[in-house]
Chain A
Amino acid sequence: MLSFIGRSLIQKTITLFFVSVVSFLIIHLAPGEPSQVDPLNPKFTPEMVERFQKAFHLDRALHVQYLYFYRDFFTGKTVSWKDNQSVVVKIWERFLNSLPLFIVGTIITWTLSFPVGIRAAIFRGGLYDRSTTFFSYLLISIPGFFFAYILIIFVVNHFHVPVIGMETFGLGEASWWHVVMDRVWHLLLPSVLGATGGIAVLSRYVRSQMLEVEGQDYIRTARAKGLSPDQVHYKHALRNALLPFVTMFGLILPGLIGGSVIIESIFSWPGMGRMAYEAILARDYPVILTVNFISAVLVLAGTFVSDLLYLVVDPRIRL
């Protein structure tokens, strides 16, 4: 067990190093310049371009830039080129904004997918199963932004309540209860939208896992013993069907930092995804690289956690 953890940590550190090198190279070799340097502005003389490049160390060799960046990164001194604010502080702020969206979205996805998927598996081939299949594919194939627009227009025109942002703009003085509920309301639409795709995919998984398990011999045995259908489905079948989802739970961790660019932009949500996207457009390398590094860490941590979880829930596995 301990040796597994040790080995895994070493492997992951090496992977992380390669990830950092590759992402650094991709970002620096891609064409484009920081938005502070504007080659098509008549007021921008070559001397100024040179000075900016020097200030950002862009005139140095790539490996030197790499060392500069990670030196600053590990001493917590990285600053965004856009506004000279500390990248860590910026990311932390946005992370706190994205977190509720992520949590609510995850709760909706995971609580809804299971009942939907299980029922579809139990009544396989029935009307319910077919209609959930249909809706799943519909939700997967409908573009998120389009769905979001339809929902916004519908809610704004029919209910006349604000939906964008993290809270009602200009709420003024209201009781704490109102403030909390206002925030919950503003979470509703974006997190439902963020969850739709997840529900569609996850409920399909649940269905197929359940079907696979339901076909096993021990289920037949359970039935033959004369157990009630509920006991067969929920005790014998579901528990075994859950195993692969334990791994998936570890893998949603990186979603924490990715956020959703489209949903966050449409709903004016000041989250991570939007910040990262705008940083990419502005070629704000310190922000892009930091987000990149943190998400790589989260992916690796996620796989590590799911390995451990597997160990806990499946007694057959020995590491």
Chain B
Amino acid sequence: MSVRRVLIFVPIAVIIFLLQSYFWVPTYEEQTRGNPSRLNEYITASIGDASLLNPILSADSASSDIESMVFEGLIDRDEDLNFRGRLAKSWEIYEEAFFYINRYADIPGIGMARGGAVVQFLQSALSEDFEALPRLRVSLNNIKEIMLLPSCEYSVTRQEKAPGEGQGKTNIKINVHAPSRIKLVLKSVDQDLFKNLRLLLGKDYFTSFVAKEHIEIDRKAYQKKSAKYAKQILPATEHNPVVLFHLRGGVKFHDGHPFDARDVKFTFEAIMDPKNLSPRIADYEPVKGVEIIDPLTVKIVYKRLYSPALGTWGMGVLPEHLLNEEVLAAEAVSLGKNHEDFSIRQSSFNRHPVGCGPFFFQEWKSDQYIVLDRFEDYWEGTPNYKRYTYRIVPDLLTQEMEFYAGTVDSYSVQPHQVKRLSADSKYQSFSGLSFGYTYIGYNMRRAPFDDSRVRTALGMAIDVDKIIKYVLYGQGERITGPFVKQTDYYNDNIEPLPYDPDGALRLLREAGWIRNEDGWLEKDGNRLQFTLITNNGNNLRKAVLAIAQDAWRHIGIDVRTDLLEWSVFIQERVNTGDFDALILGWSMGIEPDLYQIWHSSQTNSHQLNFVGFKDQKADDLIVRIRQEYDHDRQVAYCRRLHEIIAREQPYMFLYVTKWTAVLDRRIVIAEKVADGRLSYKKITPTKTGNYTFFFNKWTKLAEVPSFAAEG
């Protein structure tokens, strides 16, 4: 055969061989309809792969999607965002409060008093009525028990940097002669207890307690620090909130091992173990100790008032029997690794997780799929779907094609597709508000942003409704403050800033900025000029950047813009506070704790209050919110804080986006009714921010069901 023929026939043969494979491939039709088990399988797609399937270690969304199926926490939030018990049947929250006897303080009525006398004084106060002091009465009513803890002596060691340049550390021994202390057991957490008790024990009873004289430091060089140590070791007052969880009996892990209090304690210890490098450690740092009362009761004592703490127990519970010291050591030995550095992070558990959630782990093929099967012994009843498959499809268009073809059951719709897909009769669609907002933040340390009139005027010059309409294709809502919009912490009475360029100009004139002949705003000969920045790679923010620049130029502000690569943006601009104004977004949790983002103590570099918002009233409220355990009071504080922030306008709050998802019409909620028949209900989104809340009850029917007419 001549060379020429070879050159022609080889490529033709290759191409024919490749093309003929088409005839062997099942069509989508065969794949979805011809396969009866497909009805029992739910397939969803994700852009990214999971990293570690261990709730204490991972922080990415793909991993937590799987973890929420495999693991179960003590509690979670129900469809109205209230806490409900999962592995915990019920829980109680109360408080243990302590204060040291201040021998030198003058108590009104009895003078200087020792422990016993103070206890008696308090006991008798319980039965008195203080009509003039209703707040004190409330605090006293809340006291269940008063106890006197005798004085005691002990010693503690502290590590300090050795004097001089060296890296060495020295141990300092401190002898403590703790005076007697009073313990109050409260029915519920009361952050104002000591403030109110001052009315009874004297204004300075707690503040005048001198801790320093009760400690002795063995090193002369550190005497200067004794006051600081004393405050740490012997705080005049102490709040110890307590959460008592009553666990559900008879719950089993996927391997059949029963779940009990030891697993809860173990999970907590695994998070706190520095070897494991858990990203959740900050959530559990306020915990003083976890105590097993009996196999089904756990007592968690906190060091201080920290109300977001309850929500942290929604974290999946790890099986102690698969991850304890011995098991890990055995695994390290079998892998030939040094068991000293072998932690949960290295364990193969993270790729073969075992929990007590509704689905158990089957298979994980990196960057392809994760398969879970239903757990027949799930405590709340077996889920309807037999299998849950999580496919990793890194491209949105391919995800969409797979959804149309029926090999993926759900698809998260992009804003521009919402109109088309939600009208499509083949699918059911859901939408809701997401838990995050986009804002323009002003650097309040710099002029002219130190003037709230300027900030408000800037906000009034931007037509946010148009941004929502054209940039977000209508898939967004305005937001006025830093709380999740669908929670009751959000103050619905606050109106968003109106779009009013003339009003903006009036406000700016009040602040001294007047338009010159060229149309630019000027004050003392200086033009109103600043740079608005955001990160590159987010098209929405980029669009807002251009719109804001244009809107502000219209009222005569000389705005420059800049787009920066994400890590440069964060490291060199945000962390160092080197910016005029920026566009960014926050994604929020349901907990209304705003300390890191809004408290005035968090304005240094590398902290999150990078706009430099400082407000005394706001600070008080922020602290009160994170110390308040009563929902209604917390709501009241949040609404007030929302008002302050909306008035001060440290951010121009822009919008919160809406998510939309489409699902096959044949997927419905199936519930057993009284006579054992199944009744079908339509799936509806819940306040939790998605539509999968009742996933365990979902089922896929062979035919599209018809529902009685409803809205």
Contacts and interface: CB of A to CB of B under 8 A. Distances in A.
A112 interface: yes
A267 B398 contact: yes
Interface residues of B, number: 77
Interface in B372-388: none
Contacts of B18: 104, 108, 184, 187-188, 192
A41 B25 CA distance: 46
Nearest to B368: A270
B566 A32 contact: yes
Contacts of A153: 401
B11 A162 contact: no
Interface stretch (B278-286, B297-305, B612-620): B278-286
A234 interface: yes
Interface string A105-145: 00110011011001000000000000000000000000000
Contact of B7 (A85, A114, A166, A184): A114
Contacts of A31: 565, 567-568, 571-572
B312 to A, nearest CB: 10
A9 to B, nearest CB: 33
Interface stretch (B28-36, B510-518, B520-528, B649-657): B28-36
Given A31-B572, A235-B3, A275-B367, A170 B407 contact: yes
A169 B391 contact: yes
8 tightest A-B CB contacts, nearest first:
A32-B567, A181-B24, A270-B367, A42-B596, A185-B21, A184-B21, A234-B3, A31-B567
Interface in A76-114: 79, 82-85, 90, 93-94, 104, 107-108, 111-112, 114
A51 B368 CA distance: 32
28 contacts: A32-B571, A39-B606, A42-B596, A43-B279, A43-B283, A44-B282, A45-B281, A82-B51, A84-B52, A108-B14, A108-B18, A115-B11, A156-B405, A162-B25, A164-B393, A164-B402, A165-B368, A169-B31, A170-B35, A177-B24, A181-B24, A182-B21, A182-B25, A185-B21, A187-B18, A192-B18, A230-B2, A267-B398
A259 to B, nearest CB: 12
B636 interface: no
B164 interface: no
Interface in B1-58: 2-4, 7-8, 10-11, 14-15, 17-29, 31, 35, 37-38, 41, 43, 48, 51-52
B1 to A, nearest CB: 11
A168 B26 contact: yes
Contact of A266 (B10, B350, B398): B398
Contact of A156 (B3, B281, B392, B401): B401
B277 interface: yes
A317 interface: no
Contact of B395 (A114, A156, A265): A265
A82 B54 CA distance: 13
A132 B597 CA distance: 61
A15 interface: no
A152 B397 contact: yes
B8 A268 contact: no
Contact of A84 (B20, B22, B29, B346): B346
A181 B25 contact: yes
Contacts of A104: 18
A38 B397 CA distance: 29
A48 B52 contact: no
Contacts of A315: none
A68 interface: no
Contacts of A13: none
Interface of A: 30-33, 35-36, 38-46, 48, 51-52, 55, 79, 82-85, 90, 93-94, 104, 107-108, 111-112, 114-115, 118, 149, 152-153, 156, 159-162, 164-166, 168-172, 174, 177-178, 181-182, 184-185, 187-188, 192, 230, 233-235, 238, 265-268, 270, 274-275, 278
B263 to A, nearest CB: 23
A170 B31 contact: yes
Nearest to B346: A84
Contacts of B81: none
Contact of B345 (A84, A181, A238): A84
A38 B407 CA distance: 35
B711 interface: no
A205 B27 CA distance: 40
B280 A43 contact: yes
A193 B489 CA distance: 53
Contacts of B41: 170
**Residue of B274, B367, B397, B568 contacting most chain A CB atoms (<10 Å):** B367
A188 B570 contact: no
Given A115-B7, A170-B38, A274 B367 contact: yes
Contacts of B7: 114-115, 118, 234
A159 B29 CA distance: 11
B369 interface: yes
B122 interface: no
Given A112-B11, A115-B7, A185-B24, A43 B565 contact: no
